[in-house]
Amino acid sequence: MPVRRLHPVAVIALLLAIAGTESGCVHRRMTIRTDPPGALVEVDGERLGPTPVSTDFLYYGTREITLSAPGYETLVVKQPVAPPWYQVFPIEFFADNLLPFRVTNRHDFVYRMQPRDPQLDVEDRLMDRARSFRSHSQVGG
């Protein structure tokens, strides 16, 4: 019985299939830190917890990061997260699908929180006015 040879296209398809199952991928991770630590973090409306905090993400672009802590001004930042060179079209196809190992792309962001000025704290002044109106309405006249 003669030995059959595989067609070159079939060999290439087989190799791509094996590479697809054995390939690595790009893992994207961002870490957010604040000074002082412990600020509550939200990224694109999703609450992550107190700093320092890390999260995985799927796509690059601008993220809205909201940081809040008692006694500090709430900070809202439009943070660009730029892709590395190996995540730019068309190289990204090979990095995401054909690398034989895993690549981790890390982004670290550090923000300094500003103490809240008690003289300008609008929420506290509003609550004081509400309490004053309530007490005046209960006393009458």
Q: Answer yes or no: is 129 within a domain.
A: yes
Is there a domain that residue 80 lies in? Answer: yes
Parts of the chain with a pLDDT under 70: 1-3, 6, 10-11, 13-24, 119-121, 140-141
Q: What is the pTM of this model?
A: 0.66
Q: How far is CA 141 from CA 44, 52, 129, 131, in A?
A: 49, 53, 17, 16
Domain count, the chain: 1
pLDDT of residue 21: 53
Residue 131 covered by a domain: yes
pLDDT per residue as tens digits for the range 67-102: 999 989 999 999 999 999 988 888 888 877 877 888
pLDDT of residue 121: 65
Residue type, 65: I
Q: What is the pLDDT of residue 6?
A: 67
> How distant, in Å, are the alpha carbons of 83, 95, 110 from that of 91?
12, 6, 29
At 18 the pLDDT is 59
Half-sphere exposure of 54 (CA within 13 A, CB side): 10
| CATH number of domain containing 30 | 2.60.40
Whole-angstrom distance, CA of residue 36 vs CA of residue 67:
11
12 is a domain residue: no
**CA gap 72, 117 in Å, rounded:** 8
Residue 77 domain-assigned? yes
Can you give the residue range of the structural domain that contains 129? 26-88+104-139
CA distance linking residue 55 with residue 57, whole number of Å: 7
CA distance linking residue 101 with residue 118, whole number of Å:
53
